[in-house]
Amino acid sequence: MSTDDGSKKRGMFARLFGKGGSEPEAPPPAPAQDAQEAEAPQRSWWQRLTGGLARTSQAISQGVADIFTKRKLDALTLDELEDVLLRADLGVGASSRITQAVGKARYDKDIAPEEVRAILASEVEAVLDPVARPFEIDETKKPFIILVVGVNGSGKTTTIAKLASKWTGEGKKVILAAGDTFRAAAVEQLKIWGSRFDSEVVAGKEGADAAGLAFDAINRARETGADILLMDTAGRLQNRAELMAELEKIVRVMKKAEPEAPHAVLLVLDATVGQNALQQVEIFGRVAGVTGLVMTKLDGTARGGILVAIAEAYGLPIHFIGVGEGQDDLEPFTARDFARAIAGLDAEIDAPEPAPES
Ligand SMILES: Nc1nc2c(ncn2[C@@H]2O[C@H](COP(=O)(O)OP(=O)(O)OP(=O)(O)O)[C@@H](O)[C@H]2O)c(=O)[nH]1
């Protein structure tokens, strides 16, 4: 790992747990829950969500306002609307459907930008609703084994820390497996998190075989009666065949320890990579049998519509979204909130009934 990566990770660690400037080696002084409470943000989830999605919603709202203020709804304005939606990465299918729905509502008449945004929200919600699935842990499977995969820097380790913190807070016994065996610092970091959540961390030597580690971690989780095993993996580019073959091997070897393992495979996607995320879903899905998605860094992009394009293309469950680096910035995904947030609506306004066809 480069020094830059190291300081970036330490920065993330400090922000997550309020330990400004702490090195990974520092002894953990306070339980994560206390640190979290001490730092408890005053903002509600809705405020964090709308704040995180502000770049996307501003781009859409501004685009819609520029098109529809004092102009009639016609073929030209509809084309312009479709462009705004495509630029926000909503994808061809959703953008054209939304545009058609808006056209149907008021063709050749004036339409207020707010009405356009309300129609947009209801169309986006319809696409997302079938994929917005809470992440379920099957308690009959003990340990419940979760493999976390994704490209470098997508937010896997952060997501693991946030999930482990949440589940240990709910009284579950969680074991972490430091499958990023290439980076000593990643292993160190998981160990520190583990001590904060009172979770054992199974780690091998630097450069150890990640598949062997997965096998050991499953057995260790069994021996200790853990409820959940969260397995980190090294970041890998989806177009690097040898790294993807290694991931395949991890899954294969896991099945030797537990035929049904992994019970869940979470693909962590960085929203800022745009359309490349679609290819990641395709390839990780094929190699690792992804069961659900976590989309991070929606706060870092004006193209948060990518989530809609992914939902439409793959129909995979979306379990969590990340809208910031803080511990509270990862939340279960809900279609309605997301749709309203990117359309720049507040939570209460409902979409107008479409006008009857003439
Ligand atoms: N703004 C923002 N940053 C995030 C979010 N989630 C993660 N990050 C940051 O993204 C960076 C990379 O996150 P990691 O968790 O280290 O990513 P990783 O996938 O484990 O990376 P590798 O181990 O290199 O593969 C860190 O600086 C995190 O703080 C998010 O939702 N929003």
The ipTM value here is 0.95
CA of 153 to the centre of ligand 1 (A): 5
CA of 235 to the centre of ligand 1 (A): 11
User: Is this structure's pTM higher than 0.90?
Assistant: no
pLDDT at 257: 95
Please indicate if the annotation marks 150 as binding a ligand: yes
Q: Is there a contact between 265 and 281 (Cβ–Cβ < 8 Å)? A: no
Mean predicted lDDT score pLDDT of the chain: 84
Nearest CA to ligand 1 atom 27: 12
100 Cβ contact partners less than 8 Å away, ≥ 6 residues apart: none
Alpha helices (runs of H) in the chain, residue ranges in sequence order: 3-17, 32-38, 45-52, 54-68, 75-87, 92-106, 113-128, 156-169, 184-197, 210-223, 241-257, 276-288, 306-314, 335-342
User: Does pLDDT of 37 surpass 70?
Assistant: no
pLDDT at 42: 63
Q: What is the CA radius of gyration of the chain?
A: 22
CA of 123 to the centre of ligand 1 (A): 30
Ramachandran region, residue 291 (left: φ > 0; alpha: ψ -120 to 50; beta: rest): alpha
Nearest CA to ligand 1 atom 26: 12
Please indicate if the annotation marks 34 as binding a ligand: no
* Closest ligand 1 atom to 12 CA: 29
Name residue, tokens 């306070």: 30
Stretch among 45-49, 104-108, 219-223, 314-318 having the lowest mean pLDDT: 104-108
The C-alpha angle 171, 136, 247, rounded to 5 degrees, equals: 100
Nearest CA to ligand 1 atom 21: 153
Please indicate if the annotation marks 298 as binding a ligand: yes
Name residue, tokens 């999605």: 53
pLDDT at 348: 52
Residues with CB under 6 A from ligand 1: 8-9, 12, 150, 152-158, 180, 186, 235, 296-297, 299-300, 322-325, 329
Nearest CA to ligand 1 atom 7: 155
Quick: pLDDT tens for 99-117.
999 998 777 778 889 999 9
Could you tell me what percent of the chain has a pLDDT over 90? 61
